[in-house]
């Protein structure tokens, strides 16, 4: 599947690393080539971030609807879970991407293991934030449909919000 379709504005043809991650030569010379992070490593890390976003969006919707509050109290709860859930999702994705080890390619004197640079992790976390908002609304709609079909008591009470049909 296309990187642009999943990772939106965080998709890159290459992800550059800092020159300091490259090993030095036996004579003490530093690398002059611009190192890049191995594509397989960062694409798989971004894929895990997408999975984290999906999983957290599902869990957040289930958590928001699993309540006995109804009416205006539920509306406030739904909005709080939407906003807080998007923030938590972005934070979890940022932390994961900041800590995952990746390997470099293109160093003059060998390869090295490093971390995804923070600007790329932050960019992908911003994508996770927006995707979480969209998925929360989408999964709320799906749960509203499922609630009407299954008649689960805690879900059916609020199945008309935010969608009236």
65: its two tokens? 């609807």
Phi-psi region of 38 (alpha: psi -120 to 50; beta: other; left: phi over 0): beta
pLDDT at 6: 74
Identify the DSSP state of 27. Answer: T
**Closest alpha carbon to 144 in 164, 116, 125, 126:** 164
DSSP symbol at 29: P
* Residue-level pLDDT at 151: 73
Mean pLDDT, each 10-residue run in order, the chain (165 residues) = 69 81 80 83 92 96 85 85 96 97 87 91 95 94 82 67 60
pLDDT at 160: 65
Q: Where are the alpha helices (DSSP H) in the chain?
A: 3-7, 39-65, 72-99, 118-150, 153-156
């Amino acid at each position: 599947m296309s990187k642009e379709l999943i990772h939106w504005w965080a998709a890159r043809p290459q992800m550059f690393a800092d020159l300091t991650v490259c090993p030095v030569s036996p004579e003490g010379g530093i690398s002059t080539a611009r190192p890049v992070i191995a594509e397989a490593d960062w694409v798989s890390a971004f894929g895990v971030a997408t999975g984290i976003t999906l999983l957290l969006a599902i869990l957040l919707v289930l958590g928001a609807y699993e309540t006995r509050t109804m009416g205006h109290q539920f509306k406030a709860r739904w909005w709080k879970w939407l906003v807080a859930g998007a923030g938590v999702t972005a934070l979890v994705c940022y932390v994961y991407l900041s800590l995952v080890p990746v390997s470099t390619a293109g160093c003059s004197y060998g390869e090295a293991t490093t971390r995804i640079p923070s600007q790329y992790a932050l960019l992908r976390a911003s994508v996770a934030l927006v995707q979480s908002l969209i998925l929360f609304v989408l999964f709320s709609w799906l749960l509203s449909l499922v609630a009407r079909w299954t008649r689960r008591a805690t879900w059916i009470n609020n199945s008309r919000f935010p969608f009236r049909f």
